[in-house]
Amino acid sequence: MAHIKIITDSTADIPKDLAQQLNITVVPLTVHFGDQSYKDWYDLTPAEFFDKLKNSDIIPTTSQVTPAAFEEVFRSEIEQNDSIICITLSSKASGTYQSAVIAKNSIENADIEIIDSMSLSYGYGMIVIEAAKMAKEGKPKQEIIEQVKYLLDKLDVYFIVDTLEYLKKGGRINLATAVIGNILNIKPVLGIKDGLVVPIDKIRGSKKVIPKMVKLIKARGYNLSNQVVGLAHGSIPDKLEELKQAIEQEFHPKGFTISEVGSVIGAHAGPGIIGVFFMRD
């Protein structure tokens, strides 16, 4: 039986214990607070990051995984495995995917597949987990790749941020949208299209956020009763529980898988981010 190694980057926001359990190698991006640098999910837990973010005057920045970092991991893992499947965050949001491709091309005679998730956070993290489970079961490489691409094509993401300030400063939305949103206390419902963050709808006031998100999902006719729904939050467990209960009451999914938003995604989204991830019919 061929040994297939699943590799991803830290913005998949896979809980560390689950990554270890499923033998997923996670290559970290880096978050910077001024002159201090931290490896995402390794040097700072999500809770530590958001605590630091709330108490710091510095707006953090982030940097991608370098080709050298990927190459080191690939060379180490290919010695112990027959092939590698590496799934990265969207190439439209980071140069991390391109770094993985460069690293792959620098290693001769190695069976390495690089997949651009065209997504962010635990949405594609859930699919990385599915790939790792298939690899553990001994499924063929091509079958895993086809399933990953099939699921990525069906993946839908809805998330809300508490403020547009971080997305604005990170260049993820334009200045006018951010200014209008903050002045009017508008909370945008955001999604991902073609690998980029896009607005789906907007909500005025914090109390309507969860009901409106659920209403939007329902209005689009999605059936969540036949699947496990993914949830992720930026150190706001009470809001997470509210969203979980609302989805449970409206859609009755098979269950939930829950993660926290790591420091790199959190640096661009800011505190108060909460997201839901599921597969379209």
Question: Is the pTM of the predicted complex or chain greater than 0.85?
Answer: yes
Same domain, 140 and 174: no
Domain match, 173 and 139 both: no
How many CB atoms lie under 10 A from the CB of residue 34? 11
Per-residue pLDDT of the chain (281 residues; tens, 9 = 90+): 679 999 999 999 999 999 999 999 999 999 999 999 999 999 999 999 999 998 988 889 999 999 999 999 999 999 999 999 999 999 999 999 999 999 999 999 999 999 999 999 999 999 999 999 999 999 999 999 999 999 999 999 999 887 666 665 555 454 445 444 455 567 778 889 999 888 888 777 667 789 888 998 999 899 999 999 999 999 999 999 999 999 999 999 999 999 999 999 999 888 889 999 999 97
Are 183 and 148 in a shared domain? Answer: no
* DSSP conformation class of 1: -
Domain boundary among 90, 119, 154: 154
185 with 138, same domain: the answer is: no
pLDDT of residue 40: 97
The one-character DSSP state at 78 is: H
CATH number, domain containing residue 182: 3.30.1180.10
What is the number of structural domains in the chain? Answer: 2
- Which of 114, 133, 154 is the endpoint of a domain? 154
Using CA atoms, how far apart are residues 129 and 66, in angstroms rounded to an integer?
Answer: 23
pLDDT score recorded for residue 187: 76
Domain stops at, among 129, 154, 179 = 154
Same domain, 141 and 229: no
Pair 123, 8 in one domain:
yes
User: Domain residues for 62?
Assistant: 4-154
228 in the same domain as 187: yes
Residues 128 and 204 in one domain: no
Q: Based on the domain organization, do 147 and 204 belong to the same domain?
A: no
Total residue length of the chain: 281
| Alpha-carbon distance values, 164 to 119, 127, 188, 250 (Å) | 19, 28, 8, 28
Same domain? For 67 and 186 the reply is: no
pLDDT at residue 178, rounded to an integer:
45
Are 14 and 142 within one domain?
Answer: yes
128 plus 217 within the same structural domain: no
- Asked if 277 and 157 count as a contact pair (C-beta separation under 8 A), the reply is yes
